[in-house]
C-alpha cells in the first residue's frame, strides 16, 4: 500500500512538473508580447467604412491615365515621395500614354499628429498627388491600405486601363512597363502580374515577420499572388476584388489577401513574359544591360533607386 502511494505521489509530481513545463516554457510566451496583444491580431479591420480625408488629386477626375502608379507610403515620408516625384514618378507621357502617380496613406501616428497633417496639406497643395484615408497607418494595417486604394480606383478610375501598386523603395522602369501593357499579347481584362509566388508556404515560425497562426489560415500554402513590391492590374479587377472581399476574412499580409480574393474570383495572376522583369533583392548590383530588362526591382535605399533610374534614363543598351 505504502509503495503504491509513493508511486502515486511520484506520478502526480511528474504530472505537475509536466504541466508546469508546458505552461511556462510555452514557445509563444518567449516571443515579444506585441504578437499576443489582442485576439485576432492577424486579422485586420476591413471591410469597414473608411473615408478619405484628403482626396483632391485631379488624377482620374479630370484626366484619363492609361496607367496609374499607386504608392502606399507612410504619411511622414515626404523625403521618399520627393525622390519618386523626381525619378520614375516624373515620367508623365510614355510611348504616347498618360502615366500618373499618386501616394496613398492613412492617419499619421506619433505625438505631433496635428503638425504632420498640416505638413501633408501643404505638400498636397503643391503636388496634388496625395490620397489619405482615416485608418491608422501601421504595418499591420497594410491590407486596409490596399483595399482603400482599390476602393478609390473602383470609384474614380474605371476609365483608366491599368494600375501598378508599387512600394516606395522600388525602382520602376516605366517605359518597359508601358511597353508590356501595350503589347497585344497582354490581356486587357482579368489581368494581374508581377513576381508571382505560385507555391508559397505559410510561415508558422512565431519569430518570422510574416508569422501566421493556423487558426487564422489553416492551409499549409497560400494561393498564388504577385508579390507586394510591385503588381499590375487591369482596372476591371479592383471592383471585382472588392465585391468578393466580404466573403474572405482579411489577413494582414496584403499581397496574400489579394491572392485569396483572386482565387475566390477564379482569376489567377499571370507570370510576366520574362523573369528579368520583376526582381527582388538581386544578389549583385545590376549593370546597364540587366537594368534595361527590368520593370520593377527592390532597392536598398532611395539613393540606389535614384542612381539606377539615372542609368535607365541614359538610354537603350544593347546586351549580348
74: three-class secondary structure by DSSP = coil
Closer residue to ligand NAG, CB minimum distance, 117 or 265 = 265
Helix segments in 2-141, DSSP class H: 2-24, 78-86, 113-127
Question: Does the protein bind ligand NAG through residue 17 (CB under 6 A)?
Answer: no
Q: Binders of ligand NAG among 48-67, rule CB under 6 A?
A: 48-49
The pair phi, psi for residue 197, each rounded to 5°, is -90, 110
Closer residue to ligand NAG, CB minimum distance, 110 or 315 = 110
Could you say which of 101, 124, 132, 141 contacts ligand NAG (CB under 6 A)? 141
The radius of gyration of the chain from alpha carbons, rounded to an integer in Å, stands at: 24
User: How many residues touch ligand NAG (CB under 6 A)?
Assistant: 13
Using CB positions, name the residue nearest to ligand NAG.
138
Nearest CA among 162, 163, 178, 172 for reference residue 294:
172
- Using the contact rule CB under 6 A, the part of the chain among 53-61, 134-142, 214-222, 277-285 near ligand NAG is 134-142
Residue with cell 520593370: 295
Could you say which of 155, 190, 270, 304 contacts ligand NAG (CB under 6 A)? 190
Q: Binders of ligand NAG among 219-278, rule CB under 6 A?
A: 265-267
Closer residue to ligand NAG, CB minimum distance, 49 or 201 = 49
Helix segments in the chain, DSSP class H: 2-24, 78-86, 113-127, 142-156, 174-182, 237-244, 254-265, 288-291, 302-313
Could you say which of 42, 135, 225, 309 contacts ligand NAG (CB under 6 A)? 135
Residue with cell 510591385: 230
Binding-site ranges for ligand NAG (CB under 6 A): 45, 48-49, 135-136, 138, 140-141, 189-190, 265-267
Amino acid at each position: 500500500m505504502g509503495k503504491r502511494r509513493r508511486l502515486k505521489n511520484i506520478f502526480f509530481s511528474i504530472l505537475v512538473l509536466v504541466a508546469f513545463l508546458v505552461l511556462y516554457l510555452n514557445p509563444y510566451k518567449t516571443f515579444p508580447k506585441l504578437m499576443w496583444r489582442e485576439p485576432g491580431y492577424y486579422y485586420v479591420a476591413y471591410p469597414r467604412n473608411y473615408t478619405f480625408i484628403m482626396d483632391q488629386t485631379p488624377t482620374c477626375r479630370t484626366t484619363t491615365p492609361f496607367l496609374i502608379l499607386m504608392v502606399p507610403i507612410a504619411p511622414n515620408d515626404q523625403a521618399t515621395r520627393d525622390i519618386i516625384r523626381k525619378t520614375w514618378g516624373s515620367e508623365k507621357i510614355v510611348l504616347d500614354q498618360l502615366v500618373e502617380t499618386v501616394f496613398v496613406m492613412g492617419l499619421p501616428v506619433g505625438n505631433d499628429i496635428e503638425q504632420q497633417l498640416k505638413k501633408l496639406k501643404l505638400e498636397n497643395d503643391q503636388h496634388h498627388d496625395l490620397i489619405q484615408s482615416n485608418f491608422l497607418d501601421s504595418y499591420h494595417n497594410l491590407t486596409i491600405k490596399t483595399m482603400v486604394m482599390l476602393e478609390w480606383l473602383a470609384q474614380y478610375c474605371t476609365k483608366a486601363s491599368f494600375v501598378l501598386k508599387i512600394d516606395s523603395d522600388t525602382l520602376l522602369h516605366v517605359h518597359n512597363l508601358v511597353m508590356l501593357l501595350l503589347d497585344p499579347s497582354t490581356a486587357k481584362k482579368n489581368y494581374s502580374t508581377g513576381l508571382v509566388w505560385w507555391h508559397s508556404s505559410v510561415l508558422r515560425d512565431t519569430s518570422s515577420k510574416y508569422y501566421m497562426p493556423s487558426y487564422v489560415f489553416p492551409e499549409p500554402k497560400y494561393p498564388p499572388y504577385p508579390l507586394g513590391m510591385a503588381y499590375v492590374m487591369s482596372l476591371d479587377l479592383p471592383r471585382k476584388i472588392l465585391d468578393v472581399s466580404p466573403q474572405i476574412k482579411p489577413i494582414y499580409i496584403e499581397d496574400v489577401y489579394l491572392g485569396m480574393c483572386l482565387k475566390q474570383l477564379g482569376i489567377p495572376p499571370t507570370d510576366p513574359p520574362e523573369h528579368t522583369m520583376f526582381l527582388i533583392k538581386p544578389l549583385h548590383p545590376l549593370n546597364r544591360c540587366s537594368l534595361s530588362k527590368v520593370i520593377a526591382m527592390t532597392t536598398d535605399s532611395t539613393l540606389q533607386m535614384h542612381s539606377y533610374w539615372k542609368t535607365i534614363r541614359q538610354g537603350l543598351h544593347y546586351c549580348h
